[in-house]
Each structure stands twice: as C-alpha cells, then as structure tokens.
Chain A
C-alpha cells in the first residue's frame, strides 16, 4: 500500500518534514530568538502546502515543489545570515572549524544556495526542456551528497567532543 503511493507525494511529504525539522533546528541554534521569523515562515509554508492540496497538485512532480522549496530556501538563508551575525558579534576564541554546527550550517548553505534556482525553474524546465531535466537534476544530486558529507563531518566532530 505504502510503496504504491506516488513518489511525488513522498517528495512533498519529505520536503515538509525537512522544513519543520529545520525550523526546530534553527530555533534551538538561535536560542529562541526571532520567534516571529519561525512562525511567519511556518504559517506561510502551511498555507502554501494547503493551497497545493486544494489545487490537487499533490501528485504532480515539481508542481508546487518550487514554491515550497523557495519558502524553505529563503527561510534557511535568512536563518543562516542571522546565525552568522550572532557568530560575528559573539566571536569565540576557538576556531569555528571546531564546532559541529559550523559544518551543518555550511552544508545547508551550499545545498539551498546551489539548488535555489533549480527548484525555482524546475517546473519550467520540465515543461520546455524535459530531455535536459535529468542533467539539471544532477546538480541536486551533487549538492545533496556534498551536504550529507558535511553533515557527517559535523556529527563526527560532535562525537569527538
């Protein structure tokens, strides 16, 4: 039953879970500050997802994913900029390279920056240049792998500490 569900639906579910996990992560990382930002993006995402459901686009690949990914990418980039502002103001005497969070943040930054335009223009590429879509999708694959490697390094650093 579960395996018969369209992958497009799983992709949207994955994106939604990912987004709310990221909201929780940045909420803890920023020590509970900028709550309004988290609420704003959370509500915006929920409204957008609800709209996609209403439009019946839940099982169309890249249809609606661009909006969801755009909201997620903008939220992540803003949260990272706020974290960097915090890092600048409270400069520690230890190198940032020793902190696991630096690797998580770097991975997120590269992934969402690298795939920002891919998701933004994904549906357009699928409509007009379907045969080249898989070449563009390799970008997502590459940044995903790079992101996971940085996550692994961050987790390894956390374990070593």
Chain B
C-alpha cells in the first residue's frame, strides 16, 4: 500500500513538472471552454432557480434524448462492423500500403461536413442515384424513403464515423500477438474457433473503444440531423439549438446540454480506461 501511494505521488510530481502535461491540460480547457458555459449555466440553473418543467417539455426532451441514444447505438454498431471489416482487410499490409489505405479511408473527413451531407442528400433522395438504380433493378414505382427519417441519419452518420472506427480497430489489430494465432492453429483449432476464442478477445478492447468513441461523437452531432433528419431523426443538439433560437427557452437548453455532458462524461471515462488498459497490456515490441 505504501508503495502505491509513493508511486502515485511520484507520478503526480512528474506530471506537474512536464510541459507536455501542462500543454495537454491547456488544450483540454480551451477545447471545452465554449461547451463549459452551457454546462455551468445549466448547473447554476438547477441549483438556483426552481425550473417549472412542463409536461410537454419533459416528454419532448425525453423523446429527443431516447431518439438520440437509439441513433447513436445504431450508428456505432454499423460503423463498428464496417470499420472492423476494413481494418481486418488491411491489417496484414506492409507499412506503405497500410499508410495509403489509412489516407484513403480518412479522406472523407477532409471534405466539409455540409458538402458531405448535401452529397448524401443528392444520392439518397427520391430522384437520387440509389432510387434510380433500385427502380431499374426492382421495377419499383414508389421510391425508397431514406431521407428525412432516422434511417437516413444513421446511414450518413455511419459513413462519417467509419474512418474513426477503422483507425481504432486497426490500432488494436496492429498490436495483436500473431504467435498465439499460429499456436492455436497448430493445436488443431479451425478458423472459426481461432477467430472467436483467440482473435476477438485480444482486439476486444479496441472494438469496445471504437464503439464508445463513435457513440460519444454521435450523441452530440448537429449538422446531419439538422439537414436531413426531418421530424423522425431529430437529435439533442438540434433540439437544444431550437430551444435557444426558435422557442426561446435557454433554461431548458442549458439543462439539456448539462444532461448531454453528464451522459458523455462517464462514457468518455470508460473509453479512457479501455484505451489505457489496452495500451498498458501491450508486450514490449
């Protein structure tokens, strides 16, 4: 017990002396500054003013929150699956090919979000390319309804999040212990068995981390639900903006922003722990 306490003190002293640590703290504070005003205001409101929450406000806020969580979960699942497949496909590449793949996958993120959303709207709407192809293949009269619904938001968000999921899955696959796989195969395990019992448990922290990160990012997303969410795909960030600008209820907006922050903080903490445990368990290469 004494050694862990001394270790902790030593680590804290070292952190306080390192400029990198201070730079990191400063960056975090500056990054969180705009959001923190809403958070602090929400806290102040909760503590000082007895907010008379109307029935409509509660059901509206709860419904939007539940919608947001559903969209976040679906987006995380879809982008995790796609990111995992992509990462598995290029986990064995040499350094040069891997770098090229990473650049190619990240490229959509360089395009402005609004331009990306507009491109998706053009692709998916009733006269879009997708519907034209489906009309020819399936001889449908009525177009597929994807936009202005939850489905459209999930599709577009997943497309935006696949690069992130890909990177995290790839990171965990890169530090995989190859010998354990060949050892299992030598012992006579079939490919399925190797995958489930040896492969997945080793990259599980990476998968969980990518699920958590995509979930956190999606929970606070604004542009996609604003442009193509319609009635069904509304998310909490869009609702907070409406409360501030259209309805004129900054108190409710602050409380919702606070709730969003409170939900994201344990997720982020869990994510940090996952990444930490995953990097700490790496064998020295």
Query: Do A and B form a real pair?
Result: no
